[in-house]
Chains A and B, each alone.
Chain A
């Protein structure tokens, strides 16, 4: 049995092999479908139960199977095994997964590779048929009203040409882990009991909470037993470690954590049981007990680092690729001194644990201990791509404005996933849609049709040859975008509603503000700030294309519309001079007002259009995120040649970065451009910056000045890859020798040689300063 743990819709074009340490529990090895069939039976048996109780019943089957054994070297207990079907409140697996899900491709794989009896095969087929109907994503799709189904006909955003696609997932849950550590299991149980005592509440939901806490305790006890069993046969050093682990596991069942070790253990088990993949402000959660233990001499610096490194390796083993966010630093922390001690430890762990995850994110603000940034830059300079830098001075007011909350509340912003912002424990905003703006422009140029296939993308609002002015083209482009943004917002609301009928997301709801008090699941009226986000792609290419068209077709009448359309259709075959002319037009990323203003116009249009949907569909906010992953490459593959000179099927620019190679005026010019789009109207945008190893090593003063000015001028975030172009080219040629090279792809860090070759080539071609 084999599965991948990459996020749905984020899979690379080749399957990511499971890490060797993701061992399948013994029962599943003997009978590869036993766990899945039991899970399916539980789901079926509780079909008419309250969503909270059904979820708890399913988790009671799932957790013992998917919490994988302690492995050699682990100092903290808790690993996840792969599964072929199950429940997640977040997202799981390489295929679409939401809530109750199955991974059909992997089931097929297991059926073809394993020795499966005919009888068992029939059961599995029946199971698949059941999940085809009952998986949550299918229920969401089935609930589409006709208009929604018509405008969003396909879910295959990676495999088909289209402007907009829905994504089926609830991701980015980032709970109040400080509350978890403060209360511990007994305290949380007391809170549920107290709520029950006050009355007027959905008792089934509370029963679900109780069961979830029981399951967590059972998991801790199972790991405790395992640790003791392993200790009995271990050498002296390992025995000490395992005995400490066992003792800790016992303690977390009995009391609120009183040590760093207990806090880490409870935190980690809770995240695994709840399938929570983004951890929020871990310095707030773990800092106070870390400081206490270090000061009291209970824990040495070295022990603290080793524990943290172990936690980091366990996070990496989840292979989420785009999640595993740990946030440190920033304003709004109750005990900054203690939190900073954890932050420094976290940076050291990220510097020394050579994995692509967790995604350590460092929030910066004026008045912060400069050591945090200094150490952070050391790790970045070592080629780790972490920490990702966030500028509180910009992000706090921007998040407040975008999300419509007060400044104090906005201080609790945390990035999750590829860089979407939410408020820790206070808001939820999964990205449930993608829109390819460049494809929308294509539709506006070609009468609503795909220029590659002739397939209908949107309404026929005209074609380039019919527009008399640039404004008419703009109106048609905006028309293609607007109606799909409206649909995607409706889809997002619908997805929450269907999910609320299906499950209560017990572990999330228990640690989200207001849910216990209101006695509602987070997506069922429990969370005040239930929001949504929309991923936009192709922003830069769209802006550069629009500008080229405005200048050449409308302002100067230098290129007839028909010529341009023909050149785009044929991917510039025989039209290289025209392509040269298109490439020579001003491009975003060069501190050129005309180009930057067009990008801002494209950005503001889609951001405002999204924002306007929130009230209409009943979300606290609905905001664009300009994140990236490999979607620019994957969606670019289905996008025709564009008027910025981009060839058919080639990658679009990454996030809201300039097109690779088009930023020819120097790094400062690029930095000046990328601070132009307002961060106060969206929920996160990412900036990748590749700096040469030599610059970082020899001119650290220059790098620091560069960053300080970028942030002072309004830069909200920055991800820095430090590498050499020669090193990347060598890695392309000799992948086996360059497994230590990590790069930032946009929304995540990856081992360079693990990326698909087209993405590798794109990265090599990005401007490196």
Chain B
């Protein structure tokens, strides 16, 4: 089973419990204006151009950031890099298993992230299945934007869903992420009804999506579902801006500064005041 992966991060300690390996899958149907992995949007391998690194060899002069065609097999110009590689689930799991001792000692495991892993359902399912067979704990970091059928395919294979709640209200959600919230919320409810273990992930951008309505909505979901594993708040950071430019993607919130630690605590406090006492910094 083949899929497209654009990064594998070992010793990931912020994508679920314990020490984990996070595998980033390429492709995402959302276009969140604050995305920190915009190089993941396109499903296929892409050319990233970091012109500042060019030593003057001219190889990158005509290169198009984000191009998916005529990718250099092996570029000598340090300014050119191909983002994403097609690989097999078996090869990915082989690398993941190299750290199985660390997972066992820390309660960690594999996290699939992206992009949106559910855009590669067969590959995602295969990775989850292989991990499960090897006794490795699995997390799926998802926007939840997928067909019900796709989501149901993963039920029973995911030990913990890391489930994004990005905005509230049809209009806001659509303008901020490019898609409506209906299917996402329905899938979330479905998973919880089925008894899946879910943790909410709430990216917050001051002045963009930290509206009272949205925070109230998050708090309401948490109140309705005491079985939720937790609510993690992710304050905005601007680290993804440069990467986006390298693949020719533009982010509407590129100029937004990273949230200060004080402001981050404040966002959590607001959720606490709305009764969502389980909210914490992710």
Q: Cα distance A669–B99 when bound, in Å?
A: 8
Query: Does B13 contact A699, Cβ atoms closer than 8 Å?
Result: yes
Query: Does B57 contact A705, Cβ atoms closer than 8 Å?
Result: no
Give min CB distance, B159 to chain A, whole Å.
Answer: 18
Q: Which of A576, A578, A579, A702 contacts B18 (CB 8 A)?
A: A702
Q: Cα distance A669–B13 when bound, in Å?
A: 14
Query: Does A577 contact B10, Cβ atoms closer than 8 Å?
Result: no
Query: Does B76 contact A669, Cβ atoms closer than 8 Å?
Result: no
Give min CB distance, B94 to chain A, whole Å.
Answer: 11
The reply on B77 being an interface residue by CB < 8 A is yes
Query: Does A706 contact B19, Cβ atoms closer than 8 Å?
Result: yes
The reply on A591 being an interface residue by CB < 8 A is yes
The reply on B147 being an interface residue by CB < 8 A is no
Q: Which of B10, B19, B101 contacts A702 (CB 8 A)?
A: B19
The reply on A407 being an interface residue by CB < 8 A is no
Q: Cα distance A580–B78 when bound, in Å?
A: 6
Query: Does A577 contact B78, Cβ atoms closer than 8 Å?
Result: yes
The reply on A701 being an interface residue by CB < 8 A is yes
List chain B residues, Cβ under 8 A from A579: 78
List chain A residues, Cβ under 8 A from B10: 591, 665-669
List chain A residues, Cβ under 8 A from B101: 709, 712-713
Query: Does A581 contact B76, Cβ atoms closer than 8 Å?
Result: yes
The reply on B9 being an interface residue by CB < 8 A is yes
Query: Does A578 contact B99, Cβ atoms closer than 8 Å?
Result: no
Q: Cα distance A702–B13 when bound, in Å?
A: 8
List chain A residues, Cβ under 8 A from B225: none
Query: Does B19 contact A578, Cβ atoms closer than 8 Å?
Result: no
List chain B residues, Cβ under 8 A from A672: 98-99
List A residues 651-704 near B (Cβ within 8 Å): 665-669, 672, 695, 699, 701-702
List chain A residues, Cβ under 8 A from B99: 668-669, 672
Q: Chain B residue with minimal CB distance to A666? A: B10
Give min CB distance, A560 to chain B, whole Å.
Answer: 14
User: What mask results when residues 549 to 592 of chain A are scored 1 for a CB within 8 Å of chain B, else 0?
Assistant: 00000000000000000000000000011111101000000010
Query: Does A576 contact B55, Cβ atoms closer than 8 Å?
Result: yes
Give min CB distance, A574 to chain B, whole Å.
Answer: 8
- The binding surface of chain B is classed by DSSP as loop
Q: Cα distance A668–B95 when bound, in Å?
A: 11
List chain B residues, Cβ under 8 A from A13: none
Q: Cα distance A769–B12 when bound, in Å?
A: 10
The reply on B102 being an interface residue by CB < 8 A is yes
Q: Which of A576, A591, A769 has the most CB of B within 10 A?
A: A576
Give min CB distance, A569 to chain B, whole Å.
Answer: 18
Supposing A667-B10, A769-B11 touch, asked if A576 and B102 sit within 8 A by C-beta, the answer is no
Q: Which of B21, B56, B59, B102 has the most CB of A within 10 A?
A: B102
Q: Cα distance A672–B97 when bound, in Å?
A: 12
The reply on B105 being an interface residue by CB < 8 A is yes
The reply on B106 being an interface residue by CB < 8 A is yes
Q: Which of A666, A708, A713 has the most CB of B within 10 A?
A: A666
Give min CB distance, A618 to chain B, whole Å.
Answer: 43
List chain A residues, Cβ under 8 A from B98: 591, 668-669, 672
Give min CB distance, A88 to chain B, whole Å.
Answer: 45
Query: Does A668 contact B13, Cβ atoms closer than 8 Å?
Result: no
List chain A residues, Cβ under 8 A from B55: 576-577
Q: Cα distance A709–B100 when bound, in Å?
A: 10
Q: Which of A579, A668, A669, A712 has the most CB of B within 10 A?
A: A668
Q: Which of A578, A705, A708, A713 has the most CB of B within 10 A?
A: A705
List chain B residues, Cβ under 8 A from A699: 13
List chain A residues, Cβ under 8 A from B8: 665
Query: Does A705 contact B18, Cβ atoms closer than 8 Å?
Result: yes
Q: Cα distance A705–B103 when bound, in Å?
A: 9
User: What mask results when residues 48 to 89 of chain B are scored 1 for a CB within 8 Å of chain A, else 0?
Assistant: 000000011101000000000000001011100000000000
Give min CB distance, A705 to chain B, whole Å.
Answer: 3
List chain B residues, Cβ under 8 A from A581: 74, 76
Q: Cα distance A577–B102 when bound, in Å?
A: 37
User: What mask results when residues 12 to 27 of chain B are scored 1 for a CB within 8 Å of chain A, else 0?
Assistant: 1100001101000000
Q: Chain B residue with minimal CB distance to A672? A: B98
List chain B residues, Cβ under 8 A from A769: 11
Q: Which of A577, A665, A667, A701 contacts B77 (CB 8 A)?
A: A577
Query: Does A709 contact B102, Cβ atoms closer than 8 Å?
Result: yes
List chain B residues, Cβ under 8 A from A665: 8, 10
List chain B residues, Cβ under 8 A from A583: 78
List chain B residues, Cβ under 8 A from A577: 55, 57, 59, 76-78
Supposing A581-B76, A668-B10, A695-B13 touch, asked if A576 and B106 sit within 8 A by C-beta, the answer is no
List B residues 200-219 near A (Cβ within 8 Å): none
List chain B residues, Cβ under 8 A from A669: 10-11, 98-99
Q: Cα distance A712–B105 when bound, in Å?
A: 11
Q: Chain B residue with minimal CB distance to A701? A: B106
Give min CB distance, B174 to chain A, whole Å.
Answer: 36
Query: Does A705 contact B102, Cβ atoms closer than 8 Å?
Result: yes
Q: Which of A580, A666, A709 contacts B9 (CB 8 A)?
A: A666
List chain A residues, Cβ under 8 A from B77: 577, 580
Q: Cα distance A708–B106 when bound, in Å?
A: 10
Q: Cα distance A695–B99 when bound, in Å?
A: 19
Q: Chain B residue with minimal CB distance to A665? A: B10
Q: Cα distance A699–B20 when bound, in Å?
A: 13
Query: Does A708 contact B105, Cβ atoms closer than 8 Å?
Result: yes
Q: Cα distance A713–B99 when bound, in Å?
A: 11
List chain B residues, Cβ under 8 A from A701: 18, 106
Q: Cα distance A583–B55 when bound, in Å?
A: 15
List chain A residues, Cβ under 8 A from B57: 576-577
Q: Chain B residue with minimal CB distance to A593? A: B98
Q: Which of B13, B18, B19, B76 contacts A580 (CB 8 A)?
A: B76
Give min CB distance, B97 to chain A, whole Å.
Answer: 11
User: What mask results when residues 89 to 131 of chain B are scored 1 for a CB within 8 Å of chain A, else 0?
Assistant: 0000000001101100110100000000000000000000000
List chain A residues, Cβ under 8 A from B18: 701-702, 705
Q: Which of B12, B59, B108 contacts A666 (CB 8 A)?
A: B12
Q: Cα distance A667–B21 when bound, in Å?
A: 11
Query: Does A666 contact B11, Cβ atoms closer than 8 Å?
Result: yes
Q: Cα distance A583–B53 when bound, in Å?
A: 14
Q: Chain A residue with minimal CB distance to B54? A: A576
List chain A residues, Cβ under 8 A from B12: 666
Q: Which of A578, A695, A706 contacts B102 (CB 8 A)?
A: A706
Q: Cα distance A93–B105 when bound, in Å?
A: 46
Give min CB distance, B157 to chain A, whole Å.
Answer: 24
List B residues 240-272 near A (Cβ within 8 Å): none
Give min CB distance, A720 to chain B, whole Å.
Answer: 15
Q: Cα distance A699–B16 when bound, in Å?
A: 12
Q: Chain B residue with minimal CB distance to A556? A: B74
Q: Chain A residue with minimal CB distance to B59? A: A577
19 sampled A-B residue pairs with Cβ under 8 A: A576-B55, A576-B57, A577-B59, A580-B76, A583-B78, A667-B10, A669-B10, A669-B11, A669-B99, A672-B99, A702-B106, A705-B18, A705-B19, A705-B102, A705-B105, A706-B19, A706-B106, A713-B101, A769-B11
Closest 10 CB pairs of A and B: A666-B10, A576-B55, A705-B106, A577-B76, A580-B78, A667-B11, A666-B11, A705-B105, A668-B99, A668-B11
- Beyond A579-B78, A591-B10, A709-B102: 12 further Cβ-contacts under 8 Å? A576-B55, A576-B78, A577-B57, A577-B77, A577-B78, A665-B8, A665-B10, A668-B11, A669-B10, A669-B99, A699-B13, A712-B101
